[in-house]
Amino acid sequence: MKKTLIYPAGHPAPRGAYSPGLLVEHAGVSTLYVTGQLAVDPSGNVVAPNDAAAQTEYVFELIGSILRAGGMGFADVVRVQTFLTHMPDFEKFSPIRNRYFADTKPVSTLLEIKGLAKEGCCVEIEVLAVK
């Protein structure tokens, strides 16, 4: 089994002992685990504080760069887990998510939570991709 840590350019530095992505290759199958992504720029500043639509767009851009760095794309995503700090933001989040996954329809979990790791962030998304 081969494990490759994924650190794409333009991402904020991890705030602990983790990587944005972990590519695991075994028996001809590649699985990419993408850490929950927040709308935080490379300098560590929250992008569009408390704006669920803008943060969702930004987070999907971050996820896309991790997928590309692992040799994958959104079509390879099989699972999505989303955390919102305010469930009414689902109406802002959902059309953006649907644009990325209209054809593939991965399994998905959405939870409302009290808060995220960085104040001002209202959306966190993690994915699992397989190729």
What are the sequence ranges of the domains in the chain?
2-130
Asked if the model's pLDDT at residue 13 lies above 90, the reply is no
Q: Does domain 2-130 have CATH number 3.40.50.720?
A: no
Mean pLDDT of all residues in 48-64: 98
Q: What is the dihedral of CA 67, 68, 74, 77, to 10 degrees?
A: -30
This prediction has a pTM of 0.97
Task: For residue 15, name the pLDDT band (cuts at 50, 70, 90).
Answer: confident
Quick one: tokens of 130? 């397989």
Q: At what angle do helices 90-101 and 52-69 cross, to 10 degrees?
A: 30
Per-residue pLDDT at 87: 98
Mean pLDDT of all residues in 26-41: 97
Quick one: tokens of 129? 């991709």
